[in-house]
Structure 1
Amino acid sequence: MTQSLRALLIASTAAAGMAFAGAASAETMKIGITQNNVGVDSYQTTYEKAFIEAADANADVETVVLDAGGDVARQIAQMEDLIQQEVDAIIIWPTNGEAVIPAVRKAHNAGIPVIVTNSNIAEQGFDFVKSFSGPDNITQGKRSAEIMCDKFKEMGIENEAQVVHITGQPGYTTAIERAKGFDDRLPEVCPNVTQIDKQPGDWNREKSQKVMEAFLVKYDDIDGVYAGDDNMGVGALNAAKAAGRDGIIFVGATNFAVGYEAMERGEYWGSIYQSPVDDAKAALKTAVAVLNGEEVPFLNYFDTPKITQDNMAEFDKPVF
């Protein structure tokens, strides 16, 4: 082989290698996520950490991780920023299920598939969404109602019990759906149980404690409390303990570590087991599947089983 031919082959091989490297980098999926409010509770903090770890473990994925801090206007601006960056897909954990729809539509019109995570947007925005990945919140509410009813029946008070209800943040789809599931199912399984009041706790333990304090002043007879998550449920429990009101059955959803610990102490009866790690991994997996051209269900739910003092030994203590 002549020197010039050898040089030509080396140059050609190098050029081919550069072209291949360019093609490989072009195949990297750039996925943006705008979250609801990472600072509001340990579930969202754990979700973000798990999402970043799952993305880092996938060599084909590059991520832009944003947090709206509970501010709808900021989340809309973040959606527009991700569109400008020409990401390949956007994952959104909506701050408000209706208010974000125009921004989701804008991404859809720009040819960017949108995956909604954890809490769905309102139904009128479904045409602009590729898939929802998360828990079935209406089913969670129904299961919480069943947990409470079963306990009332065990206690023999299913024909007279009175319940108060602490919901999540108003306008937030998870809060709306869990409340609906509970409100629809409780009369079906325990038709003589009365729900005497309902107030928002905004996913906040301190606010929920104040809501419960007001309930305790207003009502002499409260047999059960349903809270849209354990953070709020434990706030309500703390109010009852401080007031010396015993015998109240507390049921929540999204079993937090504080809820699990209160169950261990025998103070809190039951909840719905939901992992933020599973939630985060499912969202990323759904986005990757969409970008790979795979068929994914529009409602891509993962299971969230009932957990009570009776079966809690079957579940690991939550990490959030």
Structure 2
Amino acid sequence: MKIGTHFAALGAVALVAAPAAAADTITIGITQNNVGVDSYQTTYERAFIEAADADPDVETVVLDAGGDVARQIGQIQDLIQQKVDAIIIWPTNGQAVVPAVRQADRAGIPVVITNSQIAEAGFDFIKSFSGPNNIVQGEYSAQMMCDALGGKGQIVQISGQPGYTTAIERQKGFEDELAKSCPGVTIMETQPGDWNREKSQRVMENFLTKYDNIDGVYSGDDNMGVGALNAAKASGRADGMVFIGATNFAVGYEAMGRGEYWGSVYQSPVEDAKNALATAKAIVEGEEVPFLNYFDTPKITKDNMSEFEKPVF
């Protein structure tokens, strides 16, 4: 019998008490990074809840760390005490959560990491990673930047949250691929935008003040990329400047349609959420799943955007 999805209040560590589930029900707990920081994570949570509610065999405990590492560690420990059948973690920090993940492993509870990878030190304590290949996404963005600039130019980079695995991997994939395939394109400076549009706009304003010539901007996601675009438009310098991002947000899709945004990487939070839930359920039921269970994230530009639905986030 399906019981329902239960929540802990944002900022609280203790779980909301849930009625006992039926014997054949799988209980899966999830602790997310920071639902309120952007619309991708908000959409992910909604899709996760909808997928769980549609499955009569699954009971879920849905938690959000609010970007706080200590809170997330506490949530993992509470899920262990709750003796859930599996734990899904969207890490606030891939290194800091390793000890708590080790505790779950010692308790015999399988762990699935979703969206952003855990540090390699934790690989022995998880069953699977479910999400995008962020190294490849960075490589795709570098290839698009190279194509857009014809192999030469000077660019700036706005990275994600420092210490966050997705930000680290996308930056590494972008920089390594650019150096290998497009040495004529130089990264003048990199500053974090923390996945935040307003902060990224301020970062770009500083870049525009500091550099007289900027041919392109690479941002770790479209939310930050549109912040950079807004700054360039406000300064009157957006024309001819190439904007490349990742995780194609609705605002990036719309800017692409207007010809203001050159390219991105298409990533669905709905597929991300469904894949994580299905992976955790399969593991509990004894099925074999890939350790790196990636879903597809293709390149998207104005030339092929008609093949993709406008993102809902």
- Tell me which interval the TM-score lies in, with the shorter structure as reference length: over 0.9
Counterpart code for 2:257: E
Partner of 2:203: 211
Counterpart code for 1:63: T
Partner of 1:257: 250
Partner of 1:121: 118
3-state SS of paired residue (1:39): helix
Which residue, 165, 174, 178 being the options, matches 1:173?
A: 165
Tell me by how many angstroms 1:26 deviates.
1.3
Count the aligned residue pairs: 292
3-state SS of paired residue (2:277): helix
Which residue, 30, 35, 41 being the options, matches 1:33?
A: 30
Give distance in 1, aligned partners of 2:289 and 2:299.
26
Is the helix fraction higher in 1 or 2?
1
Tell me by how many angstroms 1:151 deviates.
1.1
Alignment of 1:102-117 (within 5 A): 102-117=99-114
Partner of 2:228: 236
Tell me by how many angstroms 1:188 deviates.
1.6
3-state SS of paired residue (1:162): strand
RMSD: 0.8
Give distance in 2, aligned partners of 1:280 and 1:188.
33
1:163 aligns with 2:163: no
3-state SS of paired residue (2:37): coil
Give distance in 1, aligned partners of 2:163 and 2:249.
22
Counterpart code for 1:228: G
- Normalised to the residue count of structure 2, the TM-score between the two structures is 0.92
- Deviations 1:220-263, CA, capped at 9 Å, x for gaps: 01001000000000000000000000211000000000000000
1:150 aligns with 2:143: no
Give distance in 2, aligned partners of 1:85 and 1:295.
25
Counterpart code for 1:307: I
Give distance in 2, aligned partners of 1:269 and 1:38.
28
Give distance in 2, aligned partners of 1:187 and 1:67.
38
Which residue, 301, 306, 312 being the options, matches 1:313?
A: 306
Give distance in 2, aligned partners of 1:43 and 1:192.
33
Partner of 1:198: 190
Counterpart code for 1:292: E
Counterpart code for 2:295: F
Which residue, 267, 277, 280 being the options, matches 2:273?
A: 280
Tell me by how many angstroms 1:152 deviates.
1.2
Which residue, 264, 284, 287 being the options, matches 1:271?
A: 264
Q: Which runs of 4+ in 1 moved over 2 A?
A: none
- Deviations 1:193-236, CA, capped at 9 Å, x for gaps: 11100000000000000000000000001001000000000000
Partner of 1:12: none
Give distance in 2, aligned partners of 1:199 and 1:150.
23
Partner of 1:45: 42
3-state SS of paired residue (1:75): helix
- Deviations 1:25-72, CA, capped at 9 Å, x for gaps: 212100000000000000000000000000011100000000000000
Give distance in 2, aligned partners of 1:311 and 1:203.
25
Same amino acid, percent of matched pairs: 77
Give distance in 2, aligned partners of 1:277 and 1:163.
32
| Structure 1 runs not aligned, ≥5 long | 1-23
- Deviations 1:278-302, CA, capped at 9 Å, x for gaps: 0000000000110110111100000
Tell me by how many angstroms 1:137 deviates.
0.2
3-state SS of paired residue (2:188): strand
Partner of 1:74: 71
Partner of 1:221: 213
Give distance in 2, aligned partners of 1:61 and 1:44.
21
Tell me by how many angstroms 1:269 deviates.
0.5
Give distance in 2, aligned partners of 1:213 and 1:25.
56
Q: Report which of the two structures shows the higher radius of gyration computed on alpha carbons.
A: 1
- Normalised to the residue count of structure 1, the TM-score between the two structures is 0.90
